[in-house]
Amino acid sequence: MLSRRDFLKLVVKGAVLGNFYQLISPPLAEAVAAGEVKKLPVVMIETGTCTGDSISLDNIWTPTFSDILTNITDWRYDWTMMQAQGDAAYQVLQETYEKMPNEYILIVQGSMIQRDGGHYNHVAYENGKLVTGLELVRRLGLKAKYVVAIGHCATYGGPVAGYPNPTQSTGVQNILPERRVINVSGCPAHPDWIMGTLLHLALYGEPELEKYGRPKLFYGETIHNRCPRRRYYDQGIFATEIGQKECLFRVGCKGPVTYADCPIRRWNDHINWPIGCNTPCIGCTEPGYPDLMSPFTVHLPDIPFPGGTKVNTDAIGLGVLGLTSIAITGHVATSLYKGRIQKNLLRTSVKAQHRPAVKKVKTFHQYRLKKT
């Protein structure tokens, strides 16, 4: 027979996977009150950030943000959300660091700014001197039970680290090589991705991560594989302008190289998402964004896949054609016979003249544009 704790784990995992977050709050609150589940001590540090991930989390519908703060977590420090300010707030952070080592979860939002010792980003004032985000994240991260980077800036550097990267910005993992950092990427990260990761840490421990440190629970499949317009891609029916209802691959969609569950999770209480609004995915969860995904609305002949491999879109089309033709039936066979799939997949409908090439360089930022 399942124990109450095991049953609660099943409820939470099913709710996370199925977007039924309204199932979580009541039983979890009861379990916390009964002492069966310990609240997560959480501290959040914002570094080089626009605070977009805090806004995203604040917009979560179920559980509500109030549930998160009162029933699910012990949200101890977050200068944007907490009522206390100044020395009173910073004292809470210091007490957490000193009295709860290896118990608290450190959440980092924002890129790690390294230029001139990090002094372009100050996050605290301690003993008469300014404390940099670089220093505070390293200090807290070395004693945290888990380190979670949320948003693209904290995970991989984000737009702040875009070429030419004058502030030498980077992700949290690069300044905390001693620790495994759980990356919840996105610009911003979906509130369910953030909350789902925290719930997994509370009930199961560290989630299974893929090679870029992201939870497979949310980043295990490409957007392309789950896209409701995939049938258009397979048949070679592509939009030629933004706003059309067909596959947006030829007008810049980066879904084939972007790992996230946006098609099934969606945004704003699971109502809509970019492709549902007839605009292409811009690949905001992937390492190398935004440089490698730019221009956002231009179909790139060479798509850089995760890991550095560059594949020509014609090759992608031939690969899809080869795989689907194995089990082809009905109207797809007719499409093959008429040549529609080959014609559409092998002809780029949108081409940009004088498109800059991309090359690797040995600088703080990994990529730069090569003059044409």
pLDDT tens figures, 61-81: 777 777 777 777 899 999 888
Residue with tokens 């959480």: 42
**Amino acid at the residue 286:** E
Closest CA to 280 of 246, 321, 314: 246
State the Cα–Cα distance between residues 169 and 291, nearest whole angstrom: 14
Reported pTM:
0.76
Model pLDDT for residues 291-333, shown as the tens digit of each residue: 999 999 988 665 555 555 555 554 554 444 444 344 333 444 4
CATH architecture of 4-220: 3-Layer(aba) Sandwich (3.40)
Q: pLDDT tens, 110-134?
A: 999 999 999 999 999 999 999 999 9
User: Does residue 20 surpass a pLDDT of 60?
Assistant: no
48-62, 217-231, 327-341: segment of lowest average pLDDT: 327-341
Round to the nearest angstrom and report the end-to-end CA distance of the chain: 68
Can you tell me the distance from the alpha carbon of 76 to that of 53, in angstroms, rounded to the nearest whole number?
A: 18
Comparing C-alpha atoms, which of 210, 219, 222 is closest to residue 180? 210
**In the predicted structure, residue 167 carries a pLDDT above the cut 80:** yes
Mean pLDDT of 162-173: 96
| C-alpha–C-alpha distance, residues 113 and 133, integer Å | 8
Which has more confidence, 370 or 226?
226
Average pLDDT over residues 8-13: 52
pLDDT given at position 151:
97
Question: What would the pLDDT profile of 339-366 be if each residue is shown by its tens digit?
Answer: 444 344 334 334 444 444 444 334 444 4
Q: Summarize pLDDT for 145-158 with one digit per residue, the tens.
A: 999 999 999 999 99
Model pLDDT, residue 362: 41
- Helix H segments across 133-205? 133-141, 151-156, 172-175, 191-203
Q: Report in angstroms the alpha-carbon separations of 66 from 58, 114, 226, 277.
A: 9, 35, 32, 30
**CA gap 355, 39 in Å, rounded:** 52
pLDDT for res 19: 47
pLDDT in the model for residue 352: 42
User: What is the fold of 222-301?
Assistant: Cytochrome-c3 Hydrogenase; Chain A, domain 2 (4.10.480)
| Strand order from edge to edge, sheet including 105-109 | 73-77, 40-46, 105-109, 146-150, 181-184
Give me the pLDDT at residue 306, please: 52
pLDDT at position 116 is 96
**pLDDT single digits (tens) 233-289:** 999 999 999 999 999 999 999 999 999 999 999 998 889 999 999 999 999 999 999
Strand partners, 183: 149
Q: What is the pLDDT of residue 82?
A: 85
Task: With beta carbons less than 8 A apart as the criterion, state whether 350 and 299 touch.
Answer: yes
